Amino acid sequence: MSAAARLPRRIQLLVLALAALALTGWFRLWQALAFWTDLTDIALRPGPDYLAVSGAALGMLGALAAWRLARRRPYSANLARLTALVAALWYWAERLLFTRNGGAANLPFSIAITAIALGYTFAALAWWQRRGFHPNLRIENERQRPGS
């Protein structure tokens, strides 16, 4: 891959983060399936079926977003934004609905990490699109310049 075709470092880091999200989802699915009987025996709430489905969903969404972003596919920036938002909302919904002790122990840290992750995702993608690295924006810019 030539230097001109290589993704900027900011976007490479975002692709790695999305791939890590996907890997976390697949591990969650795997663990739910591997320990299904144990999780059922201890009456875990939510059950292993929820863990398996949510792991598969996050795994697929993260992998698709990472792949499309790495390949500079159309609408990949929007999919990456949506994936980050869904992952953050899902995390907070699970934390608020399923935490037994109230979850106050690491609340400031969790809020800060969520804000940093979402801020970085949206800022890096906005920078990428503004700079014209993204194919959709490049085509739009070429249409706006009739003399070139």
- For 82-110, the pLDDT digits (tens) are 999 999 999 999 888 888 776 677 888 99
SS3 7: coil
Q: In whole angstroms, give the CA distance from residue 65 to residue 78.
A: 9
Amino acid (1-letter code) at residue 144: Q
pLDDT at residue 3, as a whole number: 46
Q: In whole angstroms, give the CA distance from residue 73 to residue 56.
A: 23
Collect the ranges in the chain with pLDDT lower than 70.
1-5, 102-103, 133-148
Residue 63 has which token pair? 């992998």
User: Phi-psi category of 8—alpha, beta or left, where left has phi over 0 and alpha has psi -120 to 50?
Assistant: beta
pLDDT at residue 98, as a whole number: 85
pLDDT at residue 14, as a whole number: 95
pLDDT at residue 81, as a whole number: 96
pLDDT at residue 88, as a whole number: 96
Residue 75 has which token pair? 């609408």
